[in-house]
Amino acid sequence: MTDQITALDLPAGELSEDTRKYFDVCRDKLGMVPNVLQAYTFDEAKLRAFTTMYNDLMLADSGLSKLEREMIAVVVSSINKCYYCLTAHGAAVRELSGDPELGELLVMNFRAADLSDRQRAMLLFAEKITEQPSKMQESDRQGLRDVGFSDRDIFDVASTAAFFNMTNRVASGIDMRPNPEYMSQHR
């Protein structure tokens, strides 16, 4: 196994004091700087754009819980077979749910998991956006409303699924490798 973060040769640039502090917070909270962040250090503007969008979608106030957002990340990444995101976000699902089996079921086949009607509808919506975005219709959105999602929540489900479709493609395209620490977390 290589210590290389991606298959590309993009040397890190000089990072601002703010970014260095952000990486220190990552080390304190996570015990590492996630490789997805390190992969962007060649261009701090791209790194800031990525972290701003990620933090807004995954950490900001939302009608979706942090676990639900991570579940979307895993299901989308499972469909796309994104090694980096399955490893990193699978660990997050295990941590937030307190259920190591749930993280693995979402990776393999979310339909086999014991999910609430709300969670199942949300993941079916994320699956359809990933596999057949041109076939989305009002009945798909209504299905989410029927299990308690607001229109704002539907926007957040769609945005989270779309973000991970994009990041999965970047991660796969550059062969981004997950931090080894994720492999054994919360099992």
Residue 74 lies in a domain: yes
Domain that holds residue 55: 17-59
Query: By percentage, how much of the chain surpasses pLDDT 70?
Result: 96
Q: What is the pLDDT of residues 10-57, one digit of tens each?
A: 999 999 999 999 999 999 999 999 999 999 999 999 999 999 999 999
pLDDT for position 152: 98
Distance from the Cα of residue 106 to its chain's centroid: 13
Q: Which of 45-49, 55-59, 101-105, 174-178 has the lowest mean pLDDT?
A: 101-105
Number of domains in the chain: 2
Q: Could you tell me the pLDDT band of residue 165, with boundaries at 50, 70 and 90? A: very high
pLDDT > 60? residue 2: no
Pure H helices in 15-131: 17-30, 35-38, 44-59, 66-80, 83-97, 100-108, 117-131
Quote the pTM value. 0.95
Residue 40: both structure tokens together? 């962007």
Residues 46 and 96 in one domain: no
Residues 104, 159: one domain? yes
Domain assignment of residue 1, yes or no: no
CA distance 6 to 16: 22
Check whether 162 has a pLDDT greater than 50: yes
Decide if pLDDT at 1 tops 50.
no
The pLDDT value recorded for residue 4 is: 87
* Mean of pLDDT over the chain: 95
**CATH value at residue 42:** 1.20.5.810
Specify if 28 maps to a domain: yes
Residues 53 and 141 in one domain: no
The answer as to whether 5 is a domain residue is no
DSSP code, position 57: H
Q: Supply angle C-alpha 154, 159, 164, rounded to 5.
A: 130
Taking residues 63-83, report their average pLDDT. 98
Please, is 107 exposed, middle or buried when counting C-beta atoms within 10 Å of its C-beta (0-12, 13-18, 19+)?
Answer: middle
Query: How many angstroms separate the Cα of 26 from the Cα of each of 18, 30, 136?
Result: 12, 5, 37
29, 109: one domain: no
User: Residue range 172-184: average pLDDT?
Assistant: 86
How much is the pLDDT for 187? 62
The one-letter amino acid at 61 = D
> Which one, of 115, 120, 122, lies nearest residue 144 by Cα?
122
Name the nearest CA neighbour of 14 among 37, 36, 39, 43.
Answer: 43
- Between CA 107 and CA 145 the distance in angstroms is 26
Burial tier of 24 (Cβ tally within 10 Å: 0-12, 13-18, 19+): exposed
